[in-house]
Chain A
Amino acid sequence: MEKTQNNKAWFLILPVLVLVAFSAVLPLMTVVNYSVNDTFGNNAFFWTGLEWFEEMVTSSRLHDALGRQILFSLIILAIQVPLGIFIALNMPKKGFWASFCLVLMALPLLIPFNVVGTIWQIFGRVDIGLLGHTLAAMGFDYNYTNDPLDAWITVVVMDVWHWTSLVALLCYAGLQSIPQAYYQAAKIDQATRWSVFRYIELPKMKGVLLIAVLLRFMDSFMIYTEPFVLTGGGPGNSTTFLSIDLAKMATGQFDLGPAAAFSLMYYCVILLISWVFYTVMTNLDREENR
């Protein structure tokens, strides 16, 4: 059947287009404008071409932040994905405890980012924090405010606490969709626990797992509020991730030109990696359905 042509739809999405233009496209264009000009306020712009981009690409400050950022995202994925799967596998499947666990798991996800940062900022303090004080009392030389390693551990543990639930809940949903007959058949076939995971649970979880990896990658790659509240990027620059560095540059030093160039490249990197993820995911799907 031929589809009827009806261009009225364009008018219906016009309001959305206008809204998006004001909230996203125009600000983005402003950033583009800043990235190729130098300005000293008063709306006076001086054309600089790609100067800021060149400066940023060769800036060792940006390279360090990028290195820290990639390391952070990799650590987060390496911990949260296996841990999330492990938790999902061990959660009760039904009854009161299943609901109880679900609520418990959802709680960290409901806490605003800056509150999470504040909680851990206090929790980790050696003088009044439960965690910091306990560790100190046990004889550990723990102080996240002046030891880079301690600061990293605290930021990572905080993120694991905040976001592993998301991976676990997504995997749990994937696991719940497996009919009981699969587990029964596996028992009949005398499969080991590992085989059940490898051939039944993992394939069924693959879809949600890819989404979880994508979400956790993007979120951790853009992380700002929690480490900013917890360590403020310190000690030194040791926990200054890309977005913290960017904010320092733009609103701290008011280097709008370099910051704009920086954020555009940052944006492109995220877009590129997400595109890679998307392509891999759709290709996997196609391969399976062949």
Chain B
Amino acid sequence: MSRITLSNLAHSYLPNPKGEDDFALKEMDHIWEDGGAYALLGASGCGKTTLLNIISGLVRPSQGRVLFGERDVTDAETTERNIAQVFQFPVVYDTMTVRQNLAFPLRNRGMDPAYIARRIDQIAAMIGMEAMLDRKARGLTADAKQKISLGRGMVREDVNAILFDEPLTVIDPHMKWELRTQLKSLHREFGHTMIYVTHDQTEALTFADKVVVMHDGRVVQMGTPEELFETPAHTFVGYFIGSPGMNLLDAEIAGSEARLQGVSVPLGAAYGPTTGRTQIGIRPEYVLISDEGLPVTVKRVEDVGRHRIVRAELAGQPFSAILPEGMSVPADGARVSFATGKVNVYANDWRVAPAETRGGA
């Protein structure tokens, strides 16, 4: 087990990439700490799987290095890297029994048969398949097969990291929750580095200590679920995390105030001058509906049980707010104001830090 460093890494599936658009993975530096539980979150096609395959050695990066600890493994074969990976769709060896499937990675490494037998029993208990160990893998259901794949991913104890590529897509919701809990406790028990790719934010936030959000071939932010929620580093994070996502409004920044529609909004901190498209971002959770502030046109109200979501329009742009239970929506002339200190400022989609904390930059 060791720290995984991606240095100056980029990948293109084209033989001669011309511009940045040709890269599935833009240049990046990233460190996965040993023993961390990471979630890699992002929309489909943003490069998550490519990144995973580069770490496991299934894909060789077009540029940059991959280091395990101090060792450069960029050109090392998958076999040498000793990584476990579970794929989105179940991969089982049809002609083998469940037991043989689980034993396969251990047998390939020439482990002691007595140890293999013991280990298989542990893993079978973990994925709840003790009763099926001697059945052929072929006739099993998709989620049973995926459990075998997961089991095969976890069966080796000495792996450098376990990579999960949206492994629970085919599993039914109840089992999903159970398996995720299992993975989590497995992580606590053995301390493997785990990287869990998903496009489901609930999955990411419940599994991981650190969530890595990718967008368009880039890592846009890595942080705890709370950091992603409170201070999204990129408008994509704001929009992708949270339900509904962050509201983004074009505004002008002047010191500690933002001006939009001729109304000034206090930002709770002073900002230096910004360049490019300037927006302010506010979570629907931090929007207060009252008689003062910015006028909005309420379009509809969605009752999601625990609270209601107000879908409105603010200066022609869609805007949502979360309405606590018991509060009513004003019939007309609704106005909104924002909780102090919860407004983030974005210039060209990237978050601008307040001037004070940056030391006047």
Contact = CB atoms under 8 A, between A and B. Distances in A.
Interface residues of A, number: 19
A181 B96 contact: no
A200 B104 CA distance: 13
Given A288-B139, A289-B139, A184 B87 contact: yes
Given A184-B87, A199-B95, A200-B93, A189 B108 contact: yes
A191 interface: yes
A185 B91 contact: yes
A195 interface: yes
A190 B56 contact: no
The residue in B53, B57, B84, B105 that gathers the most chain A C-beta atoms within 10 A of its C-beta is B105
A192 B107 CA distance: 11
Contact of A188 (B83, B94, B109): B83
B116 to A, nearest CB: 13
B91 A181 contact: yes
A220 to B, nearest CB: 29
Contacts of B153: 188
A290 interface: yes
Contacts of A288: 94, 136, 138-139
Contacts of A93: none
A187 interface: yes
B87 A181 contact: yes
Interface of A, helix, strand, loop or mixed by DSSP: helix
A181 B163 CA distance: 14
Contacts, number: 62
Nearest to A187: B78
Contacts of B122: none
Nearest to A179: B89
B149 interface: yes
B50 interface: no
Given A188-B56, A188-B85, A182 B138 contact: no
Interface of A: 179, 181-182, 184-185, 187-192, 195, 199-200, 203-204, 288-290
27 contacts: A179-B91, A181-B88, A182-B91, A184-B53, A184-B58, A185-B87, A187-B57, A187-B78, A188-B56, A188-B58, A188-B84, A188-B85, A188-B105, A189-B152, A190-B82, A190-B108, A190-B109, A191-B104, A191-B108, A192-B108, A195-B104, A199-B95, A199-B104, A203-B94, A288-B136, A289-B138, A290-B136
Interface of B: 53, 56-58, 77-79, 82-85, 87-89, 91, 93-96, 104-105, 108-109, 136, 138-139, 149, 152-153
Given A190-B82, A199-B95, A203-B94, 8 more contacts: A184-B53, A185-B91, A188-B83, A188-B153, A189-B104, A189-B152, A190-B109, A199-B96
